[in-house]
Structure 1
Amino acid sequence: MENRKQIDQYDRRILDELTRDGRVSVTELARRVGLSKSPAQVRMQRLIAEGYILGFSAMLDQARLGRNHVAFVEVKLTDTTEPALRAFNAAVRAIPEIEQCHMIAGAFDYLLKVRTSDIGSYRMILGEQISSLPHVGSTSTHVSMESVKDQTL
């Protein structure tokens, strides 16, 4: 592991504020965390350089974009050797409808979050793409009826 400087309370407050509003100006960020502009900017640049901040992105209204159908898919693989896992991981990255992919310790191997326009579109993605991923043995789908908490919003 890289040798990184420990982050302090100001760094944590900067990270919290940027998580809430990634477009906040440095002047406003400094005011919110109790620093002057220059130290706040230096700290933010250091947090970026040290990899605490990986990037900035826009939060999108998925319903307005016609992508409000969310399904979670449990995936069991037929082979869990390292080459099989690498092949599965690479193939998952190529499917834009798969918003998240997590390797799971438990009754199945992966949990996918799949976002589509409707159940018909999801069914096509499942049948034509997800089920055809390398080493997929079986899948089980759970459809989200409502997002109660989403930290990305």
Structure 2
Amino acid sequence: MSLDQFDLRILTALQRDGTLTNGALSEIVNLSPSQCSRRRSALEAAGYIESYHARLDAGKLGFNIRAFVRVSLHAHGKEDHTDFSRWLADQPEVQSAFSVSGSADYLLDVRVRDLDRFADFVHEKLLILPQVAQVQSDFVLKTMKADSDLDIAGV
């Protein structure tokens, strides 16, 4: 599927507000609601739109600690990475996890309510894994930008 200007406008509008109805979307992109509906469905089917969700305020919900945790493994075999990936999938504290290049193997975005819960996560869950060699944590002091919108104007 190749994207045209209308598809890009639909994607831009939906990443700003995923709750837009096809009627509201049609006013933004200058297409009929039925055309917007067909295009939206095609974009979803083609995988350009992965999901719709609400962004929650973690602080208001009591998740006051956010840390980026760098994890290095002892060994780098396929089984080590597979086991670690399976473990990650079951950790509600880990919001996002990335396999990265550089001084660590993984970068984890961890959210917890307080430092005691962070310590429990690190000491009672992460460090006891046999494949984990090293853990380094950086705590977020202040969020300067938290925008997840992609700049698709030049696509």
The TM-score, its normalising length taken from structure 1, stands at: 0.93
The whole-number CA distance in structure 1 between the counterparts of 2:130 and 2:80 is 7
Asked if 1:83 is matched to 2:83, the reply is no
Tell me the equivalent position of 1:28: 24
Pick the aligned partner of 2:56 from 57, 60, 68: 60
1:47 matched residue in structure 2:
43
Among residues 97, 102, 109, which one is paired with 1:106 in the alignment?
Answer: 102
Q: Show CA shifts across 1:94-153 (max 9, x none).
A: 000000100001111000010001112111111111223351101001000011111249
Counterpart Cα distance in 1 of 2:144 and 2:133 = 31
Moved over 4 A (4+): none
The one-letter code matched in structure 1 to 2:133 is G
Confirm or deny that 1:74 pairs with 2:63. no
Aligned equivalents of 2:95, 2:129: Cα separation in 1:
15
Partner amino acid for 1:120?
D
User: Are the aligned partners of 1:84 and 1:134 in contact in 2 as well (CA < 8 Å)?
Assistant: no
Report the number of matched residues: 149
Which of 88, 91, 116 in structure 2 is aligned with 1:95? Answer: 91
How far 1:64 sits from its partner (Å)?
Answer: 1.4
RMSD: 1.3
Between the aligned partners of 1:151 and 1:48, the Cα distance in structure 2 is 22
Of 143, 146, 154, which aligns to 1:147?
143
Gaps of 5+ in 1: none
- Structure 2, unpaired ranges of 5+: 150-155
Residue 124 of structure 1 aligns with which residue?
Answer: 120
